């Protein structure tokens, strides 16, 4: 599945260039425009991922179980938070700062849920492996 990660990386780097390099002062409008474009592209992906997730799990009724691919959904949430924070500070748009103030909690919740599901799946796997090994050992004797 395509991810917003590359556009968010460009937004982070563009924001960094806007505030860090004085030698690029003449290029600030150009860098700012491209940074806005890539940040907007990353912003566009978030509702799309929510819609696809809703369609998959509510409409198609695919059960929600742990899959390592869910980390590819969690990581961009954190990157979006950082990209928005850096972009708002670099461009000087304080009204955008509400997004990272909320998104950081959403990203942490998504990380916690995914990590907990991973630990649960790992625990079930270890229990099943232990039972299998024990049953094979008892059959051998």
**pLDDT (0 to 100) of residue 72:** 87
pLDDT digits 0-9 by tens, 122-135: 998 888 777 766 66
Domain coordinates of the chain in residue numbers? 5-114
Please name which of 102, 112, 7 lies closest in space to residue 70, comparing C-alpha atoms.
Answer: 112
pLDDT in tens, 101-119: 999 999 999 999 999 999 9
Q: Which of 91, 74, 114 is nearest to 15 (CA)?
A: 91
Higher pLDDT, residue 81 or 25: 81
């Amino acid at each position: 599945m395509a991810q917003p990660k590359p556009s968010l990386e460009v937004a982070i780097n563009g924001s960094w260039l806007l505030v860090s390099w004085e030698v690029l002062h003449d290029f600030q409008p150009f860098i700012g425009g491209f940074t806005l474009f890539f940040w907007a592209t990353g912003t566009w992906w978030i509702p799309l991922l929510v819609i696809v997730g809703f369609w998959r799990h509510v409409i198609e009724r695919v059960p929600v179980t742990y899959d390592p691919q869910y980390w590819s959904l969690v990581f961009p949430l954190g990157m979006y938070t950082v990209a928005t924070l850096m972009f708002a500070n670099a461009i000087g748009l304080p009204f955008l700062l509400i997004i990272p103030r909320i998104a950081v909690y959403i990203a942490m919740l998504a990380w916690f849920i995914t990590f907990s599901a991973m630990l649960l799946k790992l625990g079930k796997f270890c229990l099943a492996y232990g039972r299998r090994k024990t049953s094979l050992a008892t059959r051998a004797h």
